[in-house]
Amino acid sequence: MRVTIFGATGLLGKALMREWTGDEVRGMGSRDADLRSKQQIEAALGKQSPDWIVLAAAYTDVDGCETNREVAFAVNCTGAANVARAAARLGSKLLFLSTDYVFDGSKNQPYEIDDPVCPKSVYGQTKAAAEAEIRKINPRFCILRTSWVFGVGGKCFPDTILRLASTRETLDVVNDQRGCPTYTVDLARAIIELCRSDASGVIQATNSGDCTWFDFATAIVAGVGLKTRVLPTTTERFPRPAPRPKYSVLSSSSLLRYGIQMPSWQEALVRYLEEREAHSKSS
């Protein structure tokens, strides 16, 4: 199987490049192609005809999207449409990484794939718009929604918490937003299985279980034995430019249909902390 990955230098992309063995995999970063340019995408793909194109590249600064709306839509929506057209031209299947932020967070039970999207943030709006464009452009699509992604090799919530906890006695973390932490290694493995299973349609993939950011931070600090006290607080006390869904737990039923069950976020966190420590020793 031939695979091309856009976003190979990002957090998830790095995990995909490490985990994807046994197939012909080609990774592309922003230096290889700007998603906003149809010409650059066409030139980067050339005449190759990959079986799958995985679009893991995006403008993921959620708060930055609020103040850079035009850029966010250009990269996340127009860029995705450009890749979808190139995939259609080559006869390739497209796996597009989407987000829990396409939902408004008003539910109190896991979101299913057919629940109506109603994004509150610009970031969520760009991803919802990209989903709609891809459906129209390339019928050979797989839209994969995920959430709260963390991993080694880039900026993520656990890395931020550990950096802050190393210099502070207390940390205030919001306890009224609930979702599913997702480890890049486990997500990468699920993507590989989905591509090999010829997956299609909308699928949701996260580590199993859910928690609040406070729960997650508490587990992170405890996992490395730090004495920092993690204190619960509210979203209202820590306003951010982009609104966050209060509840964005994603149902795993669509993933289970392919026989894929991802480990718990607690187990994933243990492996992340081990990987992070090994990475710090080797760098």
User: Is residue 193 one of the residues assigned to a domain?
Assistant: yes
pTM of the model: 0.97
Per-residue tokens: 140: 């050979």
User: Is residue 48 one of the residues assigned to a domain?
Assistant: yes
The pLDDT confidence band at residue 200, using thresholds 50, 70 and 90, is: very high
Residues 78, 36: Cα–Cα separation, whole Å:
6
CATH number at residue 80: 3.40.50.720
The pLDDT confidence band at residue 48, using thresholds 50, 70 and 90, is: confident
Q: Considering its fold, how many domains does the chain have in total?
A: 1
Closest listed residue to residue 66, CA positions, set 235, 239, 247, 249: 239
Q: Which residues are catalytic?
A: 123
SS (H, E, C) 201-253: EEEECCCECCEEHHHHHHHHHHHCCCCCEEEEECHHHCCCCCCCCCECCECCH
Name the residue with tokens 């550990």. 162
Closest listed residue to residue 197, CA positions, set 134, 258, 135, 250: 258
pLDDT value for 232: 98
User: Is residue 87 one of the residues assigned to a domain?
Assistant: yes
What mean pLDDT value characterizes the chain? 96
Identify residue 140 by its one-letter amino acid code: R
E-strand stretches of 29-140:
52-55, 93-99
User: Is residue 235 one of the residues assigned to a domain?
Assistant: no
Half-sphere CA count of 128, side-chain side, radius 13 A: 18
pLDDT tens, 59-68? 999 999 999 9
User: Is residue 108 one of the residues assigned to a domain?
Assistant: yes
pLDDT tens, 80-131? 999 999 999 999 999 999 999 999 999 999 999 999 999 999 999 999 999 9
pLDDT tens, 142-199? 999 999 999 999 999 999 999 999 999 999 999 999 999 999 999 999 999 999 999 9
Name the residue with tokens 């959620």. 62
- Check pLDDT > 70 for residue 283: no
- Give the gyration radius of the chain's Cα atoms: 18
| Domain span at 107 | 2-147+182-207+249-262
E-strand stretches of the chain:
2-6, 24-28, 52-55, 93-99, 141-146, 149-150, 170-174, 178-179, 182-183, 201-204, 211-212, 229-233
User: Is residue 156 one of the residues assigned to a domain?
Assistant: no
User: Is residue 81 one of the residues assigned to a domain?
Assistant: yes
Q: Are 117 and 109 in contact (CB under 8 A)?
A: no
Per-residue tokens: 241: 């430019």
User: Is residue 101 one of the residues assigned to a domain?
Assistant: yes
